[in-house]
Amino acid sequence: MNQSNSIRHKIHCLWKIAGFALVGYTAFSPMTYAADSSPALFNINNELLQPEGYREWVYVGTTVTPHDMNNGKAEVPEFHNVYIDPKSFTHWKKTGQFRDGAMVVKELLSVGAKKALTGNGYFMGEFTGLEAAVKDSKRFPDEPGNWAYFMYGMKYPLPRKATAKPTAECNACHQANAKDDWVFTQYYPVLQAAKPNK
Ligand code: HEC
């Protein structure tokens, strides 16, 4: 083998190794996707990885249940900002339904200031927690509506993953009270406005 052939051979071998490594990584990677093109990423233990980039998804609305209107014991303090992944929003606009693979995130914030130039009120403070809901008929065939619910808690740094909550703890209230397919669209003006054939 002359020198240039030997270099070519070495490069060829390196490509092969890189190729095997890539195939191995893809085949044995602990992460799997949920339904088609869903942003929900699960590990092999069926735990939902903390979503990334959701503040750049479609923002659908905010509710606020401040402690001082709930005897200091609001269940889910205090502001709740809700986002949906963009593909699911597009699907919703077309069909008025949540697609398989839809993911909705609720981020919690404390009440910060109660007074501003515009008057007295509630103004957002710090981020205080994160929750998510995922609709996936293959992964959660036994959950009512195929919706599973996750809580990352309120202690920062938030854990990187969360297990689905028992049906009775989250799903049941959503099933009984949410306006559209387990989602509280009655409080999300952006989803209401985008819904076709209202
Ligand atoms: C007693 C009823 C009730 C229970 C129980 C409940 N929720 Fe909700 N959830 C709501 C309401 C009402 C909203 C509307 C937004 C708001 O006010 O927070 C909501 C909104 C959400 C949203 C935003 C998307 C949507 O479906 O509207 C997520 C995500 C969520 N809840 C997660 C959870 C998780 C996780 C649990 C269990 C730990 C849970 N919820 C238990 C009433 C409930």
* Ligand 1 atom nearest to 75, measured from its CA: 1
Residues 74 and 11 in one domain: no
Q: What is the mean pLDDT of the chain?
A: 88
Supply the residue whose CA is at minimum distance from atom 5 of ligand 1: 170
What percentage of the chain reaches a pLDDT higher than 70? 82
State the DSSP code for 146: G
Q: 99 with 51, same domain?
A: yes
**20 and 115 part of one domain:** no
Do 43 and 63 have their domain in common?
yes
| pTM of this structure | 0.86
* 166 prior amide bond cis, ω within 30: no
Least confident of 24-33, 60-69, 119-128, 169-178: 24-33
Shared domain for 168 and 71, answered yes or no, is yes
> What are 85's two structure tokens?
């992944």
Say whether pLDDT at 42 is over 80. Answer: yes
User: Residue 166 corresponds to which tokens in the numbers above?
Assistant: 């028992």
CB-CB contact of 192 with 178 (8 Å): no
- Residue 187 and residue 180 in contact, taking contact as beta carbons nearer than 8 Å: no
Rounded to the nearest whole angstrom, what is the distance from the C-alpha of residue 143 to the centroid of ligand 1?
15
pLDDT tens for 72-94 read 999 888 999 999 999 999 999 99
Is the domain of 22 the same as that of 85? Answer: no
Q: How far is CA 159 from CA 36, 52, 130, in A?
A: 25, 13, 10
Are residues 76 and 167 both part of a single domain?
yes
Q: Closest ligand 1 atom to the C-alpha of 149?
A: 35
Residue 143 maps to which CATH number? 3.50.70.20
Total domain count, the chain: 2
CA of 170 to the centre of ligand 1 (A): 7
Q: Which atom of ligand 1 is nearest to the CA of 182?
A: 26
Do 75 and 145 share a domain, yes or no?
A: yes
Q: Quick one: what percent of the chain has pLDDT higher than 90?
A: 78
Pocket of ligand 1 (CB under 6 A): 63, 76, 80, 82, 104, 106, 131-133, 149-151, 165, 169-170, 173-174, 178, 182-184, 187
Residue 7 sits in the same domain as residue 94: no
Residue type, 77: P
Domain membership of residue 20 as a residue range: 1-30
- Looking at the structure, tell me whether residues 16 and 38 fall in a common domain: no
Average of per-residue pLDDT across 40-66: 97
pLDDT of residue 165 exceeding 60: yes
Residue nearest to atom 14 of ligand 1 (CA): 184
Q: State pLDDT tens for residues 135-144.
A: 999 999 999 9
Claim to verify: residue 188 and residue 125 sit in the same structural domain: yes
Regarding whether 180 and 107 lie in a shared domain, the answer is yes
Backbone angles phi, psi at 18, to 5 degrees: -60, -40
> From the CA of 167, how far away is ligand 1's center (Å)?
12
198 versus 20: which is more confidently predicted? 198
